[in-house]
């Protein structure tokens, strides 16, 4: 990232920065663990399921949450797929650098 910013500064390129709010919440639960990641319902949430004595009610997660060990990877995979769909290519030297030539303008994205 520092090298990319230094090159942009030296060549007089414009730079932009952005942040994705709640990024990890957009990742999908991997197939290998789908149906195996459960959480307790938050306090105050009404869940209308029959009560089974000795069992707690759990909610099956459909999206990743902060704190799950695979959340960062799942978010990156979702972003990677989206950027490829937009026409970016991933750098072979660094998989977190994406490049696209759009109407003669070079776009370099560092994730």
Q: Which pLDDT tens digit goes with each residue over 11-23?
A: 998 888 888 888 8
pTM score of the predicted model: 0.76
Query: CB within 8 A of 21, min separation 6: which ones?
Result: none
In angstroms, rounded to a whole number, what is the distance separating the alpha carbons of residues 81 and 86? 9
Does the CA dihedral 102-95-79-11 come out positive or negative? negative
Give the mean pLDDT of 80-106: 94
pLDDT of residue 32: 84
Q: What is the pLDDT of residues 20-70, one digit of tens each?
A: 888 888 888 888 888 888 888 888 887 777 777 777 778 888 888 888 888
């Amino acid at each position: 990232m520092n090298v990319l910013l230094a090159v942009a500064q030296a060549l007089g390129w414009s730079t932009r920065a952005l942040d994705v709010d709640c990024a990890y919440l957009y990742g999908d639960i991997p197939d290998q663990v789908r149906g195996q990641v459960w959480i307790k319902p938050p306090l105050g949430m009404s869940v209308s399921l029959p009560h089974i004595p000795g069992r707690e009610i759990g909610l099956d997660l459909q999206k990743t949450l902060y704190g799950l060990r695979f959340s960062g990877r799942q978010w990156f995979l979702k972003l990677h797929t989206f950027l490829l769909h937009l026409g970016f290519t991933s750098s072979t030297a660094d998989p977190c650098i994406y490049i696209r030539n759009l109407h003669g303008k070079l776009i370099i994205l560092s994730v």
